[in-house]
A and B are shown apart, each in its own frame.
Chain A
């Protein structure tokens, strides 16, 4: 080995170690004085979690289904409030943020300390988030930036990784392309005689004319909503679904920390799915539900199956889009069912 190489290795090592020590020191300063500002801007739920983490027996991880209300609602209680009301002897905390899904909940659960024994977490399981429209959704890059800040590593490393865009930061255009690929090539398969997918991809299914009157004129509004239902629910969950992988990991992490996990499989508008599309779509929703319930019950989680709990009238956006926003009664019914399983 030449003298120069030895020189580089010895000096380089000293410098690398020095830089590592400097960064560790910086981590202390960053955590004390700057972290909260960054979390405020990019990952507010970690701050929320830090406020409740030491005091709560039960933490509810939710998205907009938890807190969306309607002006006509007889109360503004969230699903989590309804659960808490049924268990006054337990202290409850809620972490919720619009559009959040298991990808954001997972690093937050990793942050939960093991210090508090016999804790329970209730994690929202939204069937629609397993579909391609969400996985390749336009807001996913921003959500993944937030989850970068939630990772349980040194805060300054999280910041560096965020600055270096080290998260799934694919552009909206690229995600859209991947979504269309999935809609074109992911085929729907049934092994049951009663279910036959004549149109076995989302694209083919959406291309079919719908709601034609006797003169062959289409009801465009209904047609559009029908296609939204196909895009939202015409998929089949399997092990390769990225959300499944994250739910698996979340459960594993929680179990290692001795945390009880309750998955709240929230209601979907089955009634309208049947009306706009028909039994084939309902069959897909139900078989996906069966997959989730069986999988996670076998893995040791409590799965509260609320999929078919609510009739259409409780869905606030039913005239526009399939969305899990419920009226006060809906939120109460969901909350009661989860509360019963606690």
Chain B
């Protein structure tokens, strides 16, 4: 993934100029031109990563737009299937080519690839895309357009007639590169609606973005060097440090991704558009089922609706149901990348889910506080250990890491500075307070003075204590 200071990351100076300009243009232009502003802004946003990537998103847009219209017009099933097939092959083909093809190809020396790219720019671009810089967000927008075609196919929605509006649905910049993966029926009416300027909405947006920046820049970016150090060389650290570094990745990936989602929600809200909540304090879950209702919600509901239910859901034999569950979790693991480690991560979650359901099927445990707490702790530990497979680069690293967790001669200690400890405690308190709420709504309940103390505290953390690691959002690579 290529990131430069000109790339429009949320956590970049360029974005702090880009967003206000887009918002101003959006509200000052008449309603009928607003989609043009948003589409141009979205393509500019995406093109800032790599201009060539735009060709892929345009290709996906055109194929799905015309395929959906064509299949909607057809009454004969096999013809409808043909157009559905075209859409699925185009999207999954793109995904396969740029994300999974590398599994079946010999490895390439990055330097050799660079030399080839210089000599053959077009083929070199493909080579770079396949091997080194997966087109950012490709898994997100292909899934979003796939859901559109499948919904049209199942007659759940009418196909969009305006190519520009549809292109905007595919590329809407706040959620383009890492979700939330929105459904057409939810997002498109909002994109077409006339939104008037609202102070209340800007206020909400500010709060979401402020908290999003806090958890990304202050928690995730400060944990990142600690996690990297432990995962790179686990045997050099003391046992305590190895455990801490391993569990810290769970916190890093959560704050990184949830931070992105909150900023995306805030940015969209500035334009009057409400994106779905993607995370709801997942580490307070008391069961693995609940965890998946609270973690990356837009993806888990996508898999539920477009994979699990079509496979028969739970209205099948026990054996088939077990297979369905495992299939969904393994595919969702594989969605994250072309590495067997992701498959294992998905399989672990699938197994945990099955075990939990089987225990509950035999005898539902009483929902006492103790049981819930014990369940919560157990889920937290299991989920965080499973992250190990998500974080490592290859299976060969597992024995080394596990060995370091249980018997190590390492002497290096991870040290947490007072600012990091302060921010972790702040984050924990915020998580507890937002268990049944969202940060922006929570602040509505507070008096003005307290609200400003919270604002000032978060601004202080972002300004003075944020991490300076050069890490883009983790989920951009998926």
Chain A residues near B (Cβ < 8 Å): 2, 4-5, 7-8, 11-12, 18-19, 22-23, 26, 29-30, 34, 37-38, 42, 141, 145, 156, 159-171, 173-174, 176-177, 180-181, 184-185
Within 8 A of A (CB), among B97-139: 110-111, 114-115, 117-119, 128, 132-133
Known: A4-B198, A166-B12, A166-B13. 19 other contacts (CB 8 A): A4-B197, A7-B199, A26-B459, A26-B463, A29-B464, A34-B419, A34-B465, A38-B468, A159-B466, A162-B468, A163-B467, A165-B5, A165-B11, A168-B4, A169-B4, A174-B4, A176-B110, A177-B114, A180-B118
Q: Would you give 15 A-B contacts (Cβ < 8 Å), ordered by A? A: A8-B202, A22-B459, A23-B463, A38-B468, A159-B463, A159-B468, A160-B462, A165-B470, A166-B12, A167-B5, A168-B4, A169-B5, A170-B5, A173-B110, A173-B114
| Chain B residues, Cβ within 8 Å of A12 | 199, 202
Rounded to whole Å, the gap between the CB of B19 and the closest CB of chain A is 13
A210: min CB distance to chain B, Å: 19
For the complex, give the distance between the alpha carbons of A184 and B419 in Å.
48
Give the A-binding residues of B (Cβ under 8 A).
1-5, 9, 11-13, 16, 110-111, 114-115, 117-119, 128, 132-133, 196-199, 202, 217, 221, 417, 419, 452, 455-456, 459-460, 462-468, 470
The residue from A11, A29, A173, A185 contacting B132, defined by CB atoms under 8 A apart: A173
> Which residue from A8, A22, A141, A171 sits with its C-beta under 8 Å from B2?
A171
Structural contact, B4 and A2, CB atoms closer than 8 A: no
In the bound complex, residues from chain B placing their C-beta under 8 Å from that of A160 are: 462-463, 466
Contact B197 A26 (CB under 8 A): no
Docked Cα-Cα span, A19 to B202, in Å, equals 16
A5 to B221, CA, bound (A): 37
Which one of A29, A141, A164, A167 contacts B11 once the chains associate, using CB atoms below 8 Å? A164
User: In the complex, which residue of chain A has the Cβ closest to the Cβ of B206?
Assistant: A15
Residue of B nearest to A23 (CB): B463
Residue of A nearest to B13 (CB): A166
Minimum distance in angstroms from A216 CB to a CB of chain B = 26
Across the interface, name the chain B residue whose C-beta is closest to A8: B199
Residues in A with CB closer than 8 Å to B119 are: 184
Partner of B118, one of A19, A34, A167, A181: A181
* Minimum-distance CB pairs A-B, first 5: A163-B466, A166-B13, A30-B464, A162-B468, A177-B114
Cβ contacts under 8 Å, B13 to chain A? 161, 164, 166
| Interfacial chain B residues near A19, Cβ < 8 Å | 455, 459
B51 CB to closest chain A CB, in angstroms?
A: 14
Note all chain A residues with C-beta closer than 8 A to B9. 165
Question: In the complex, A205→B464 CA distance in Å?
Answer: 50
| A169–B3 CB distance below 8 A | yes
Q: In the complex, A271 Cα to B41 Cα: how many Å?
A: 56
User: Whose C-beta in chain B lies nearest to the C-beta of A144?
Assistant: B5
Q: Give chain A residues whose Cβ lies under 8 Å from the Cβ of B419.
A: 34
List chain A residues, Cβ under 8 A from B199: 4, 7-8, 11-12
